[in-house]
Amino acid sequence: MTIQINEALIKKLQKLSLFKGLDLNVIRDLAELCSYKKIKKGRTVIKEGDFGDELYIIVSGEIEIQKRTLQNEPYTVVAMNADETPLYVGELAMIDRDKRSATVVAKRDCDCLVLKRKDFVAYGDANPRVGLILTRAIALQLAQRLRRTNDDVITLFSALVEEISGEAEGL
């Protein structure tokens, strides 16, 4: 099964933050590098801890991003819907060859374009300006996540200090 790369799809992909600043012909070229994958509701798209070399562009459907606690229990970080604006996951695999940092599960059937790391790198090498734009978009998303994580760590640390101070006062 394939997805038809038509003007409607290209216009939808233009909304993707990864493709911000790229013209429609470049977006079409990138879409044509991708394979199509339909992921059924309840199936795992990406599994935390696995090695992967694919970026998934979710064109339609809904996903849930999960992490595991220290007790190996899954918890939902966020649920995202791609029906209006596509989204992407697995972008770290375009930068490094490390383990997946989270699990992604299809909450509804999803239509996905899948870009392999080797194709991403080859396209970027052949088109350095586009490669730089794509890499900057990934770096921006990672920087935003890092800032949120830093804020969360400070909040947790502050709550821990308050809890310890409260217990010390009660002694």
Distances (CA, A) of 11 to 6, 56, 61, 94, 99: 9, 18, 17, 23, 32
pLDDT tens readout for residues 91-131: 999 999 899 999 999 999 999 999 999 999 999 999 999 99
Q: 21: phi > 0 → left, psi -120 to 50 → alpha, else beta; which?
A: left
**7-169: what fold?**
Jelly Rolls (2.60.120)
Res 28: pLDDT: 94
**Contacts for 133-142: CB closer than 8 Å, 24+ residues apart:** 133/20, 133/21, 133/22, 134/18, 134/94, 135/94, 135/95, 137/17, 137/18, 137/19, 137/20, 138/18, 138/91, 138/94, 138/95, 141/17, 141/91, 142/91, 142/92
Contact 115, 53 (CB under 8 A): no
Res 168: pLDDT: 64
Paired sense of beta strands 74-81 and 62-68, if any = antiparallel
Res 43: pLDDT: 97
pLDDT tens readout for residues 38-89: 999 999 999 999 999 999 999 999 999 999 888 988 889 899 999 888 999 9
Task: Name 151's Cβ contacts closer than 8 Å, sequence gap at least 6.
Answer: none
CB atoms within 10 A of CB 54: 20
CA-to-CA distance for 76 and 112, rounded, in angstroms? 21
Q: Where are the domains of the chain?
A: 7-169
Res 107: pLDDT: 97
Token pair listed for 150:
């830093």
pTM: 0.84
Among residues 20, 43, 32, 53, the alpha carbon closest in space to that of 130 is found at 20
CA-to-CA distance for 115 and 121, rounded, in angstroms? 10
